[in-house]
Amino acid sequence: MNKKHLTKEQVAELLTKDCIVKCSPKSISYSKDFKLLAIRQYDEGMTASQIFNEAGLRPELVGEYRAQECLRLWRRIAKTRGADMLITENRGLARGNKGRPRIKGLTDAEQIKRLKIEVAYLKAKNDFLVKLRAKKKS
């Protein structure tokens, strides 16, 4: 996927907007107030591009489809987890990612159970690869 990187001038311009909390060449963080306002305006019938244009965020500046994607994500977060979740930075959590599994703080029994599951998974994976290689040779 080819992501657009912002120039220093574009980052500086975006940082002058009230709706932007922080900005780097690779990412833009929007304020909670803007997110809530955007969701409300979208529910009232405005399009995502109209909302972003009204805030001074032109499509050529933030990206052609970023307005639609941001609104889709913010609406889903607000609907499933509540509007308070729009305050915190939860990029991975918003998309359902749980991150790396926690192994610290597990009891011995929990660690053994987890390791047994991992061993069973790896054995199944190896068996699959052996069958796949055998099939390629025939």
* Contact (CB, 8 A) for 34 and 54: no
Share of the chain residues as helix, strand and coil, in percent rounded to the nearest 5? 60, 5, 35
Q: Which two tokens stand for residue 71?
A: 């609104």
Q: 0.75 cut: is pTM over it?
A: no
Question: Which is higher by pLDDT, 31 or 1?
Answer: 31
CA dihedral (67, 69, 41, 32) positive or negative: negative
Q: Which two tokens stand for residue 94?
A: 């918003």
**From CA 45, how far away is CA 48, in angstroms rounded?**
9
Q: State what percent of residues in the chain have pLDDT above 70.
A: 87
SS3 94: helix
Span 21-44, pLDDT tens digits: 888 888 888 888 899 899 999 999
Predicted pLDDT of residue 97 = 60
Span 73-88, pLDDT tens digits: 888 888 887 777 777 5
**From CA 67, how far away is CA 57, in angstroms rounded?**
9
Backbone torsions φ then ψ of 30, nearest 5 degrees: -100, 155
Contacts (Cβ under 8 Å, ≥6 apart) of 79: none
